[in-house]
Structure 1
């Protein structure tokens, strides 16, 4: 009876190797995407997170199996034996937050690393699912994670808001050029500030624009494109 229960509840060596191999493959692919994009946590970090979560999940299963077997072999104390399947797993879910926080970089005007932190958390979840033997959940979740990291940005284009200041002379020539430049690139530009100064008896016009990028143009390409006009003195991106 006990031998049959051990076979039923305990994980064999082959099963352990399969789970570790699967978690290395899935977490490695996620980590490769992050490393390819020069993010703080790459392949090794994601693989180690996945393996660690998988190990803890398998340990939890083994502890629970031992508790069940011990309770069956000692029925007189079975009522006081507890096998909480979620105790160790809960510590992984909360503990991975500290590692994820280390990948987040906060500067004066931006925050980077949130996606990488989330991918580490998702990798830990995959490791737990694989370690517990929930292969369908793990594989479908892996596909969802890869779709979000790789495909979502190509499918869904979210406008990025930027603020620019353009300094120019001869507004009768410069302004039509600026308007046509934005229109040709399908860029929605809203004037947020306007001023005029005089330097050496020459009027210098300044306009600030709030720009929503709809095309794939980067800030540098916008600045270079506008600077081609002889009437535009300077173009610069502003911090929000």
Structure 2
């Protein structure tokens, strides 16, 4: 068994530490790719980069490492989920992609770049999340589904109610079964305006079903 150089050991340990730092943030937020996953991604990217250097030093040392980008895309796609009007997991997918890049930087010996990138990733994930929440309060996107009895000349009353609360309709559709109309709207607006609209609908005795 060949002797394992100290430099390789340092790189493997560094990938565990930096990958673990990123993974810890994801784990604390209960994301699908957490502590162990990020460590394995960073460690794997480092190892494949090392293999590129040792196996491809006579031809093209970037051949194996370049395929990391392709392979990591499959992992990223696996954590993205779409549910009705919302898409979740995109941030985690992007984090997986960047964690692999940190592993590559460690593999080629760019420790300062790897550490700086790790810190930047954590800043974006931790500090910028507060900005994201603030933006969401100002412009929140919600889907409403309202069922109500048909009344002549009043089939657009809820669309008018959206405008009354200064909520912007992105998409909308309505269907009629028997005497019941069911409307589905994707609406954007201030969080407080959404709450006021919801309270108004909850008080509406004519509404037979309300999903929000």
Tell which structure's C-alpha radius of gyration is larger: 1
What is the aligned partner in structure 2 of residue 132 from structure 1? 108
CA distance in 2, matches of 1:208, 1:59: 54
Matched, 1:162 2:137: no
CA deviations over 1:32-74 (Å, ceiling 9, x no partner): 222333322211111111101111222323346xx5xxxxxxx
CA deviations over 1:188-210 (Å, ceiling 9, x no partner): 4569799xxxx9xxxx9x99775
Paired residues of 2:53 and 2:62 also in contact (CA < 8 A): no
RMSD in angstroms over aligned alpha carbons? 4.1
How many correspondences in the alignment? 195
SS for the counterpart of 1:38 is: coil
Query: Which TM-score applies when normalising by structure 1?
Result: 0.61
Which one of 42, 45, 48 corresponds to residue 53 of structure 1? 45
Q: Residue 23 and residue 232 in structure 1: after superposition, are their counterparts in 2 closer, same or farther (change >3 A)?
A: farther
CA distance in 2, matches of 1:142, 1:86: 22
Which one of 20, 24, 35 corresponds to residue 28 of structure 1? 20
CA distance in 2, matches of 1:87, 1:193: 51
Segments of structure 2 that go 5 or more residues without pairing to the other structure are 149-157
What is the aligned partner in structure 1 of residue 54 from structure 2? 62
Q: Residue 96 and residue 228 in structure 1: after superposition, are their counterparts in 2 closer, same or farther (change >3 A)?
A: closer
CA distance in 2, matches of 1:58, 1:94: 17
Matched, 1:17 2:9: yes
CA deviations over 1:166-200 (Å, ceiling 9, x no partner): 679xxxxxx9xx89xx86xxx64569799xxxx9x
CA deviations over 1:14-40 (Å, ceiling 9, x no partner): x32322222112211222222333322
SS for the counterpart of 2:144 is: strand
SS for the counterpart of 1:133 is: coil
CA deviations over 1:59-109 (Å, ceiling 9, x no partner): 323346xx5xxxxxxxxxxxxxx3422111012111111222222223454
Q: Residue 231 and residue 189 in structure 1: after superposition, are their counterparts in 2 closer, same or farther (change >3 A)?
A: farther
